[in-house]
Chains A and B, each alone.
Chain A
Amino acid sequence: AQSVTQLDSQVPVFEEAPVELRCNYSSSVSVYLFWYVQYPNQGLQLLLKYLSGSTLVKGINGFEAEFNKSQTSFHLRKPSVHISDTAEYFCAVSSVGYDKIIFGKGTRLHILP
C-alpha cells in the first residue's frame, strides 16, 4: 500500500520570494504523483502530475515539481510567489495498476506582504 506525507502543515513566505512545499511518498511499486491546489471555499484543482518520463514536471500558475525516485519525494516549487497563491496544497499518490489515489494532509501557503 502507498502513503504520502506532507512535511509542513503551514508555510509562510514573503511575496515574490521562492517557495518549496515538500512531499514524500511510500510505495512498493511504481507511482503516479499529483499536486492539487484548493483556494478558499472551492474544490481541489489539479496543478500538475507525474506519470512517467521527465522527472521535472511543469504545471499551471508557474509551479513545477521534481520527481526524485531515490529520495521518494515530489516537492513543489515556485520561483516567485504572488498573493493570489494563498491556498492549501495537496500532494497525492497512486500506484501504477490503478489503485486508489491517496492524499496528503495538505500544506497551507501563507503569502506575507
Chain B
Amino acid sequence: KAGVTQTPRYLIKTRGQQVTLSCSPISGHRSVSWYQQTPGQGLQFLFEYFSETQRNKGNFPGRFSGRQFSNSRSEMNVSTLELGDSALYLCASSLRTGSEQYFGPGTRLTVT
C-alpha cells in the first residue's frame, strides 16, 4: 500500500502571500489530520477532517484553513503568511478519528 504523500516537499514564500499544501492519505483512510512542527513550539495540532467534515480544530488563527475532498485527499491553506509560519507541516491519515495515524514526510515551508 502506498503511504501518505505530501506535495510540495519544500516551499519558499514571501510574507503576505498565501500557500496551499496537499496531502493524499493511504487508500481507505478517511481521516486526515494536519500538524505544524517548529523547534520552539514542537508538534501542534491544526485540524482533522473525516469524510469531508472538520472533526477537530486546534488553537490556530483563522488564516489557517483546510478542506477534504470526496476521495479523502486534503488541502490546507495559509493566507497572509507571517515569518512565524515557517515550519514543517505534517499530514497524517488514519482509518478513523483516534486510531493510529500514519504520517507523510511533511512540507517544509519557509517564509521570508
Residues of A whose CB lies within 8 Å of any CB of B are 32, 34, 36, 42-46, 49, 90, 94-103, 105-106
Please give, as numbers and ranges, the residues of chain A lying within 8 Å of B101 by CB-CB distance. 44, 46, 101
A100-B102 contact given A44-B90, A44-B92, A105-B42, CB 8 Å threshold: no
Query: Does B63 have its Cβ within 8 Å of any Cβ on chain A?
Result: no
**Are A32 and B99 interface neighbours, CB within 8 A?**
yes
Contacts A46-B102, A100-B48, A106-B43 known; list 19 others, CB within 8 Å.
Answer: A34-B100, A42-B105, A43-B4, A43-B92, A43-B104, A43-B105, A44-B101, A45-B103, A90-B43, A94-B98, A96-B98, A97-B98, A98-B97, A98-B98, A99-B97, A100-B55, A100-B97, A102-B45, A105-B42
Interface residue from B45, B98, B104 paired with A103 (Cβ < 8 Å): B45
Query: Does B66 have its Cβ within 8 Å of any Cβ on chain A?
Result: no
Question: Closest chain A residue to B48 by CB distance?
Answer: A100
Query: Does B106 have its Cβ within 8 Å of any Cβ on chain A?
Result: yes
Interface residue from B4, B56, B92, B100 paired with A49 (Cβ < 8 Å): B100
**Are A103 and B43 interface neighbours, CB within 8 A?**
yes
Please give, as numbers and ranges, the residues of chain A lying within 8 Å of B90 by CB-CB distance. 43-44
Main secondary structure of the interface of A (DSSP, over half): strand
Please give, as numbers and ranges, the residues of chain B lying within 8 Å of A36 by CB-CB distance. 103
Of the A-B pairs whose beta carbons lie under 8 Å apart in the complex, a sample of 10, sorted by A's number, is A32-B100, A36-B103, A42-B106, A44-B90, A96-B98, A99-B97, A99-B98, A101-B98, A103-B35, A103-B43
Please give, as numbers and ranges, the residues of chain B lying within 8 Å of A43 by CB-CB distance. 4, 90, 92, 103-106
Binary A-proximity of B22-48 (CB < 8 A = 1, otherwise 0): 000000000001010000001101001
Distance in Å: Cβ of B2 to nearest Cβ of chain A: 14
Please give, as numbers and ranges, the residues of chain B lying within 8 Å of A99 by CB-CB distance. 97-98
